[in-house]
């Protein structure tokens, strides 16, 4: 077998990513401040202009997922950006977004009453070029709907997040990444200290198109995301429980 030129392989990889709905990162890629998690993304850059979904199992997990998204959109909205947050009325508390670097007055909240309305509103928002991010709190998203979202963001380059709390249907949908964020105890600098401490999460990347799924322990500390100290040994290599990885095959 003749030796294949490494450039050719690189080129082919790029092409595959493009066909999967991921564009090669531009020069002006945003630093998401995710530290070790970035290694899981294709070419080490957080995929903007794509759909991400976050699963949760109850309000506690939904709060953790919401905070994770807030931290991400805080980075995406740097400068003049605006964000549209679509969900049932009064679940998220706007003033709390400030703690994650989001100016709450730059977020437009759309209250929805029915899931069908939510799907329509999310798609319309995703088509709006120039938005930093669109967050949709919606549990049930069919594959067809997710495909429409994906097509919309490929056109408009908006980053979309779907917060899916207790979804009935956990089949893979057409998103580039599937996350699950769960709270972890003990965000204290030392175990003997009183109080609750920093928000600490178990971040699982269950699916990543063109990337490497993984699990990390992260905490929100002094306005930025950090990996929990003392567990470096398992960084990035924490085994993902079997059966939770849905990778597209074929």
Partner 1 sequence: MTIRRPALRDIAFVLAVPDHGRKVITGVNSIARNEGIDSGMAVADARVLYPTLEVIDEPPGLAARLLRALAVWCIRYSPVTAIDAPDGLLLETTGCDHLWGGEEAYLTQILYRLRANGYDVRGGMADTIGAAWAVARYSMSARGSGQGASIVPRGQATAAMLELPPAALRLAPDLVDRLQKLGLIRIGPVVRIQRRALQRRLGPELLLRLDQAFGIEEEPLLPVQPVLPYHERLPCLEPIGTTGGVAIGLERLLDMLCGRLQRDGKGLREAVFKAWRIDGRLMQAQIGTNRGSNHAPHLFRLFEEKIRGFEPGPGIELFTIDAPKTEDVSPLQKTLWTGACGPDDPRLSELVDRISNKLGAGLIHRYLPAEHYWPERAYAPARGFDDAPASVWPSDRPRPIRLLSIPERIEVAAPIPDYPPMHFRHHNTLHKIVRADGPERIEQEWWIDRAQHRDYYVVEDETGARYWLFRSGHYTGDHSNQWYLHGFFS
Binding site for partner 1 (CB under 8 A): 59-60, 62-64, 66-68, 70, 79-82, 84, 89-100, 103-113, 117, 120-121, 124-125, 128-132, 182-186, 188, 194-197, 199-201, 220
Q: Is 196 or 237 the residue whose CB approaches partner 1 more closely? A: 196
User: With the C-alpha atoms ordered 156, 132, 20, 14, is the resulting torsion angle positive or negative?
Assistant: positive
Select 114 or 248, whichever has its Cβ closest to partner 1.
114
Q: Give the phi and the psi of residue 162 in degrees, each rounded to 5.
A: -110, 120
**Is 133 or 141 the residue whose CB approaches partner 1 more closely?**
133
Report, in Å, the least distance between residue 130 CB and partner 1.
3
Integer Cα distance of 203 and 217 in angstroms: 6
**Nearest CB to partner 1, comparing residues 50 and 77:** 77
Closest distance to partner 1 from the beta carbon of 7 (Å): 32
Beta-carbon neighbour count of residue 139 at 10 Å? 17
Q: How far is the CB of 115 from partner 1 (least distance, A)?
A: 13
> Taking the complex as a whole, how short is the minimal distance between the CB of residue 249 and partner 1, in angstroms?
34
Q: How far is the CB of 10 from partner 1 (least distance, A)?
A: 29
Nearer Cβ to partner 1, position 6 or 194?
194
124: part of which helix (H) or strand (E)? helix 115-126
Whether the Cβ atoms of residue 87 and residue 118 lie closer than 8 Å to each other: yes
Rounded to whole angstroms, the Cα distance separating 241 from 111 reads 36
Identify whether the C-beta of residue 203 lies closer than 8 Å to the C-beta of residue 55.
Answer: no
Residue that has been written with the tokens 């120039």 in this structure: 130
């Amino acid at each position: 077998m003749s030796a294949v030129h490494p450039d050719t392989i690189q080129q082919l990889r790029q092409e595959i990513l493009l066909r999967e709905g991921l564009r090669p990162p531009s020069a002006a890629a945003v630093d998401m401040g995710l530290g070790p998690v970035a290694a899981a993304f294709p070419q080490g850059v957080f995929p903007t202009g794509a759909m991400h979904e976050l699963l949760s199992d109850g309000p506690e997990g939904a709060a953790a997922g919401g905070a994770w998204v807030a931290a991400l959109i805080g980075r995406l909205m740097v400068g003049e950006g605006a964000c549209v947050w679509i969900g049932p009325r009064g679940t998220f508390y706007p003033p709390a977004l400030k703690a994650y670097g989001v100016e709450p007055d730059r977020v437009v909240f759309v209250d929805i009453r029915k899931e069908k309305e939510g799907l329509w509103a999310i798609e319309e928002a995703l088509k709006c070029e120039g938005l930093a991010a669109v967050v949709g709190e919606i549990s049930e998203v069919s594959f067809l709907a997710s495909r429409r979202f994906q097509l919309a963001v490929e056109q408009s380059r908006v980053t979309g997040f779907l917060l899916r709390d207790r979804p009935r249907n956990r089949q893979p949908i057409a998103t580039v990444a599937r996350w699950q964020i769960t709270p972890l105890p003990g965000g204290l600098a030392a175990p003997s200290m009183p109080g609750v401490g920093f928000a600490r999460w178990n971040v699982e990347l269950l699916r990543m198109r063109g990337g490497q799924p993984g699990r990390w322990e992260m905490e929100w500390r002094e306005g930025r995301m950090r990996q929990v100290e003392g567990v470096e040994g398992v960084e990035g290599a924490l085994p993902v429980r079997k059966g939770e990885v849905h990778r597209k095959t074929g």
